[in-house]
Amino acid sequence: MSQAMKLMKVKVEKCPTDDHSLTNCAIVSDDDFQTKKYPHWEVICGPGQHYVFSVHAYPKMRPGTMGFSLPQRKWASLSINQEVEVRPFSVGKDQYLSNVVLEIDFFQKKSVTQDPYNTDEMAKEFVMQFPNRVFTVGQLLVFQFLDKKLLSLCVKDLEATDLDAIKEGKEVKPKKVKIGMVLPNTSVSFDKADGATINLVGKARGKQVRPNIINPDWNFERMGIGGLDKEFNAIFRRAFASRVFPPEVVEQLGCKHVKGILLYGPPGTGKTLMARQIGKMLNSREPKIINGPQVLDKYVGESEANIRRLFADAEEEEKRLGPNSGLHIIIFDEIDAICKARGSVAGASGVHDTVVNQLLAKIDGVEQLNNVLVIGMTNRRDMIDEALLRPGRLEVQMEIGLPNEHGRVQILNIHTSRMRQFGKMGSDVDVCELATLTKNFSGAEIEGLVRAAQSSALNRLIKASSKVEVDPNAAEKLLVSRPDFLYALENDIKPAFGASEEALTTYMARGIIAWGDPVHHLLEDGNLLIQQAKSPESSGLVSVLLEGPPNSGKTALAAFLAKNSGFPFVKVCTPEDMIGFTESAKCLTIRKTFDDAYKSTMSCIVVDNLERLIDYGPVGPRYSNLTLQALLVLLKKQPPRGRQLLVICTSSRRQVLEDLELIFTFTAVLHVPCLSKSEHLLRVLEETDVFSKRELLNISNKTKDRRVFIGIRKLLAMVDMARQTEEQFRTLKFLSRLEEEGSLEMVA
């Protein structure tokens, strides 16, 4: 600071003219301030309030006053007629500016335009308009560029270089300063102010700090999402990568932002949770979340109006700000409720059709919006109108499937983190083991498993007698252990896409009796086909037909192979579950079974009694062509890429399937024979442990020279009847029944 002149007291005035305001100088009388000798002055408004201004002389300025523009008064907190002290300011040798960064916006916020402002040209103009002017970090300025609208500038950053050191040939790095003077070779760059709508182009732009779409430290587990890392990465690559870059870069690519994402998959896999977290994760305004049914309204036109209201804010901002508009996120939960295929809903109102039309017009109509992102979620992708799924609309379609083992470990860690934190989980609980045991569990089912295990642990500390009492030391004793999880797995929580254990167990109630080489060969071939179905080198679809006479044990063998396959999804499709169904209802049920199977990585479907399923009747004959055609299509349809499907069918009518051309759809056809030799019969009887050794020897002698032909199922029924017969008549009764049934004949 220079003390060449003593402190002067002056009064604050307005700038005499608008042109003087554009100089960004304090306007003074030359008689008082000697502007040629002292071009920069320090204004002292109070303790610690020192501001430096370059000054400009104006003959009509009254002595003892100093004129300031509105931005200058705002920056220095000056008021009209305020008395301040001033003194000359001299620029130090280390205050010559090498670089200036300015924040820019329109001076009048209501007067905006989308005309481009070239930062290179503005930098040159700034240096020409303000040579040898002193500026301070935080100072507010007014800038007139060509004949365009007035601009508001704020000094954001200043870097200065010691000119004397440069003259001496020393290597000098620029350093940050608070006050400095602009030189003809000072580099000037511009940044948009927060919320600025000005359209900047050119290279003279500061390093703009743009908010990251994804926080680098983002932790999916901390936000309650597990097993969806790959899906998240794919969504952000497609939907948000283009939004990180400045609008002009996107324009140079001719790139359009993705406007829609469809998340689909089984219930409970985290679709709604993912959409909710996308809204929280982005540095944008709060997303609008609406359930599909909420859009529909009983009054004519209101459903379409509800859609328009959702997009109203985005439309208004798009018109006002153009490419600089912020991102508006609209989340539709259960979007299939309002976007069904047009023409598929009965009724004369056609509300669903017009809602779909309105949504299409808003996303990708003639006056399309580029600042919206629509996220739809559904369990039924097949129900949504195809027009919504093409590029430009809901073009990013991401299947949120059942979590794999690594994903299940993540989800279990999320839901057990609090128990571990407070020491309420037993040391015998192995999360990796639980992940292995919970094949085909969805995220919601895993959460339910943890709750069920917790309830089991809580129940141990409750005494229920005449009244319910809680153990007084429950807080110390409470510990969720491995047996609690195993009990919950066994009794409480069953996956919707898991194995049909009860059905398989019912079909194998008597187990599998390997009565001879035919059964051994069947099991060997069946295991080979299972390995083929599991192999990633296979086509992904293996279909097997077990055909043979009635009661030969085809269903039990099919259930045995399905259970031994170890596939996490095993579903039984049987005519017993479709009694009284119409043809259409039967086709939809079969189709749903296959659709569910496609959602699992490895699936097995047992289709029992094919001829009954297609309503075959020998009198006539007659059959359901609709069901037959559905089976012909589904048995040939390849599962989605990366999915393995094993289909095991049974039938007692091979010739019928050949006539209907259904047999040719199978990868392999295995014949299941009846028992045909005496040793086969004796092998089964030994397994049942009903007859004594003496009785077995007697049966062997009676049957060794006779032809046997009986199905294993019928034979076991006869054994059960013999079990109820008195011992002295048991053998005779059993042999008599065999002869009566025609299963035991003399060899000619």
> Tokens in use for 393?
């609309």
User: How far apart are alpha carbons 683 and 314 in whole angstroms?
Assistant: 79
Residue 2 has pLDDT above 50, yes or no: no
Interval 8-30: pLDDT, tens: 899 999 999 988 999 999 999 98
Could you please state the CATH topology (level 3) that the domain comprising 500-671 is classified under.
Answer: Rossmann fold (3.40.50)
Per-residue model confidence (pLDDT) at position 528: 93
pLDDT attached to residue 3: 43
Q: Where are the domains of the chain?
A: 8-88, 98-119+133-201, 220-399, 405-464+473-492, 500-671, 678-746
How confident is the model over 537-558, as pLDDT tens digits? 888 899 999 999 998 889 999 9
Give CA separation, 297 vs 288, 342, 414, 732, in Å: 18, 18, 39, 78
Statement: 98-119+133-201 belongs to CATH 3.60.20.10: no
461 three-state secondary structure:
coil
Nearest to 94 by CA among 25, 2, 178: 178
CA-closest candidate to residue 720, choices 743, 697, 689, 692: 689
Q: Between the CA of residue 555 and those of 533, 534, 550, 646, what are the distances in Å?
A: 20, 22, 10, 15
Does the pLDDT value for residue 628 go beyond 60?
yes
Tokens of 431: 């999360």
The region of weakest confidence among 146-160, 215-229, 305-319, 503-517 is: 215-229
Tell me the CATH number for domain 220-399. Answer: 3.40.50.300
Reply yes or no on whether the pLDDT at 268 is more than 50: yes
Residue 580 has a CB neighbour count (10 Å cut-off) of 6
Helical H segments across 365-423, by residue range: 405-421
Residue 287: both structure tokens together: 């997303």
- Read off the pLDDT of each residue in 698-714 and give the average, rounded to a whole number: 82
Q: Sign (positive/negative) of CA torsion 620, 623, 629, 634?
A: negative
Mean pLDDT of 605-625: 89
Q: What per-residue confidence (pLDDT) applies to 348?
A: 45
User: What is the band of 322 on the pLDDT scale with cuts at 50, 70, 90?
Assistant: low
Q: Which of 225-239, 485-499, 546-560 has the highest mean pLDDT?
A: 546-560
Q: Which of 143-152, 187-196, 373-382, 626-635 has the highest mean pLDDT?
A: 626-635
H or E segment at 64?
none
Reply yes or no on whether the pLDDT at 204 is more than 70.
no
CA pair distance 167, 163, nearest whole angstrom: 6
Query: What pLDDT, on the 0 to 100 scale, is given for residue 238?
Result: 79
Residue 66 has pLDDT above 90, yes or no: yes
Mean pLDDT calculated for residue range 338-345:
74
Q: What pLDDT is stored for residue 302 in this prediction?
A: 83
Q: How far apart are the first and last CA of the chain?
A: 132
Please report the beta strands in 16-48, taking only residues with DSSP state E, as ranges in sequence order: 26-28, 40-46
Task: Output the pLDDT for position 295.
Answer: 80
Matching CATH topology for 405-464+473-492 and 678-746?
yes
For residue 502, the model assigns a pLDDT of: 74
C-alpha distances (whole Å) from 78 to each of 11, 18, 47, 50, 52 are 10, 18, 14, 12, 13
- pLDDT, residue 211, reads 43
Identify the pLDDT of residue 538.
82
Residue 669 in this model has a pLDDT that exceeds 90: yes
Question: What is the SS3 assignment for 118?
Answer: strand
Amino acid at 468: V
What local confidence, expressed as pLDDT, does residue 14 receive? 92
Q: What's the CATH code, domain 8-88?
A: 2.40.40.20
Question: What residues contact 488, with CB distance under 8 A and at least 6 apart?
Answer: 449, 452, 453, 456
So what CATH class is 678-746?
mainly alpha
**Which run of H or of E encompasses 416?**
helix 405-421
Give the model confidence (pLDDT) of 555-570 as tens digits.
Answer: 999 999 998 888 888 9
Least confidently predicted of 41-45, 174-178, 277-281, 315-319 = 277-281
Question: 362 falls in which pLDDT band (50, 70, 90)?
Answer: confident
Structural tokens at position 175: 């350093």
Whether the per-residue pLDDT at 516 is higher than 70: the answer is yes
Q: Alpha helices, DSSP H only, in 34-110?
A: 70-76
Lowest mean pLDDT segment, chosen from 476-480, 485-489, 624-628 = 476-480
CA distance 265 to 543: 25
Name which of 485, 501, 478, 496 is nearest 432 in CA terms: 485
d(CA 471, CA 461): 5
Could you give the CA distance from residue 361 to residue 357 in angstroms, rounded to a whole number?
6
Query: What sign has the CA pseudo-torsion 357, 362, 366, 370?
Result: negative
CB 56 within 8 A of CB 27: yes
CATH architecture of the domain 405-464+473-492 equals Orthogonal Bundle (1.10)
**From its phi and psi, is residue 256 left (phi > 0), alpha (psi between -120 and 50) or beta?**
beta
Q: What percent of the chain has pLDDT over 70?
A: 89
Q: Is the pLDDT of residue 210 over 60?
A: no
Q: What is the pLDDT of residue 247?
A: 66
Q: Reply yes or no on whether the pLDDT at 220 is more than 50.
A: yes
- % residues pLDDT > 90 (the chain): 26
In the chain, helix, strand, coil percent, each to 5? 40, 20, 40
3-state secondary structure of 671: strand
Higher-confidence position of 619 and 320: 619
The mean pLDDT of 125-134, rounded to a whole number, is 90
CA dist 738 to 174, 683, 699, 721, 735, Å? 107, 16, 11, 12, 5
Burial of 236 (0-12, 13-18, 19+ CB in 10 A): middle
Cα 23 to Cα 147, 406, 738: the distances in Å are: 16, 66, 118
